Structure 1
Amino acid sequence: MSGLRKVVTVVDEVLMDLGRPVATPVRRVAAAAVIRNPWAGRGFVADLQPGVESLAPGLGRLLTDRLIGALGGAERVEAFGKAAVVGLDGELEHGGALIHTPYFGNVLRELTEGTSIIVFSDDRLAAGAPLTVPLWHKTAAATRSHYQTVQIRVPDAPRPDEIVVVAAAASGPRPNARIGDRRSDPVVRLADLENAR
C-alpha cells in the first residue's frame, strides 16, 4: 500500500478487576496503520474522494484482518470502533475522510459481521500522543455492557505529514458489566427528576 510506514497492534486482555476475576476475560485490540497524508502540504483540497477511494478500502481490510487475527475470528468480535489521528500539518477532515465513508466503515463492518453504525474518535495530535478509541456492540449499539474504550499510542506517529488510522474491537463486554441495558431502562424525564428533589 502506497505511503504505509508501519502497522502497530495493541492487545489488552482483562483477567482481574479490583482484585477479583472477571466473569469472562475480555480481549480488546487496536490496530493502527501509519500512512503518509496524501493531502498534506497541498493547501485546501476541495475533493478528497480520489484519495479516499484509493486508500480507505485497503486500510479497512488490513486493520480488520489484524483485529480478527488477534481475537481468533470474526465471530469473536463483539464490539468495534474506529479512529484517526492527523499530524499537525493536516486537517481533521483528512482523517475523517479515511474513516467516515463506506470505503472504510463498510469493510470493517462486513468483515467483522457487524450491522451497527461504528462509533469513532478523531483528533489532530503530535507524535506519540495517546488516542482513546470508543467501542460498542457490533450488532446492537444500545447494549450498554459493551460501551468501553481501548487506548493506542504510536511513539513516533503521526509525523506532521502523516495520519494514523485505527480499527479496534473487543471480544466481550466491559469487565463485570452490570448497569443494565438501554432497552430495559425506565422512562426518565427531566421534569420527574426535578420533582424528586
Structure 2
Amino acid sequence: MNVRKIVTVVEETRAEGERAVSPPATVAVVAAVIENPWAGQGFVEDLAPGIDANASEVGALLAPAVMEALGAPAEAYGKAAVVGLDGEIEHGSALIHTLTFGDHFRKAANATTLLPAVEKRGAAGVVFDIPLKHITDATIRSHHQTVEVRVADAPHPNEIIIALAAAAQGRPQQRLAALSTEQ
C-alpha cells in the first residue's frame, strides 16, 4: 500500500440551535490518500489480490488513528472511499466492504453493527459526506448523522481516499422519539 498523505480532522460543535452543547459534540475523521492498486490496468476482473494486499493494512492504519483523534469512546461511526477519476467506484468499495478492513474499526470502537459507508468517484477536492450510525444499534436515531469531508488535493486520478469517522455522541440537541414509538 502506497500512502501519499494522511489527513485528520476533529470537529467540536459547541452550540447548535442557539443553545450551548455541553460537553461539545466531537467528531473525528482520519483519511488516507493511497495509490489505487488497480490504476492503469484497465478493467480488472479479479480484485481479490489488490484487496488482500491493501484492505487490512489500511484498516489497521486508520482505526487506531481515528480513535486517538476522537479522544473518547466512539458511539457512532462510518467509512468512505473516494476514487480518483481514473478508477472505478468498485475499487473503493473493494477495499472498504471487507471484514479485513472493517473489523479493525469494529474492534477499536467495541462495535457490532455494520459500518455505514459512502463510495464515489471524484476529482481532487471533491466534498463527500460520511454517514454515521450507532456502533451497536443502527436503529438508534440520535446517532444518525453525517460529517462533511474534503481533502484539498486528493484524490489524484490514480488515487483513492479511504476515510473513517467516529463520533463521541449522537447529534447535538437531538430530540427525535425512539424508533419504537412508531412501531
- Do both share a fold (TM > 0.5)? yes
Equivalent positions of 1:125-136 (< 5 A) are: 125-136=122-133
CA contact (8 A) 1:31 1:166 kept: yes
Distance in 1 of aligned mates of 2:53 and 2:117 = 21
- 2:139 equivalent among 136, 142, 154: 142
**1:3 Cα deviation after fit:** 1.2
Could you tell me which residue of structure 2 aligns to residue 195 of structure 1?
none
Superposition deviation, residue 185 in structure 1: 2.3
Name 2:50's counterpart in structure 1: 51
The residue correspondences of 1:11-22 to structure 2 (distance < 5 A) are 11-22=10-21
Listed as ranges, the matches of 1:1-197 within 5 Å are 2-73=1-72, 76-182=73-179, 184-187=180-183
Displacement over 3 Å in runs of 4+: none
Q: What whole-Å deviation, never above 9, does each CA across 1:51-90 have from its counterpart, x for those lacking one?
A: 11111111112111111101225xx100000010000000
Instruction: Specify the SS of the correspondent of 2:63.
Output: helix
User: Cα RMSD (Å) of the superposition?
Assistant: 1.1
Displacement of 1:24 in angstroms is 3.9
- Cα pair 1:23 1:176 within 8 Å, conserved: no
SS in 1 for 2:182: coil
Q: CA deviation at 1:23?
A: 4.7
- Contact residue 30 and residue 151 of structure 1 kept, 8 A: no
Give secondary structure in 2 for the equivalent of 1:34: strand
The amino acid across from 2:83 in the alignment is V
- TM-score of the two chains, using structure 1 as the length reference: 0.90
Gaps of 5+ in 1: 188-197
Percent identity, please: 48
Higher mean alpha-carbon deviation, 17-26 vs 117-126, is at 17-26
Q: Match of 1:185, SS?
A: helix
* Code of the aligned partner of 2:181: D
* Equivalences, count: 183
In 1, the alpha carbon distance for the partners of 2:177 and 2:49 equals 44
The answer to whether the 8 A contact 2:74-2:169 is kept is: yes
Residue type matched to 1:117 in 2? L
SS of residue in 1 equivalent to 2:146: strand
Instruction: Show structure 2 runs of 5+ residues with no match.
Output: none
Following the alignment from structure 1 to structure 2, what is the Cα–Cα distance between the partners of residues 186 and 20?
Answer: 28
Per-residue deviation, 1:50: 1.2
Query: How many angstroms apart in 1 are the aligned matches of 2:56 and 2:142?
Result: 30
| 8 Å CA contact 2:82, 2:119 repeated in 1 | yes
The C-alpha deviation readout for 1:77-108, integer Å capped at 9, x for no partner, is: 00000010000000000000000111111111
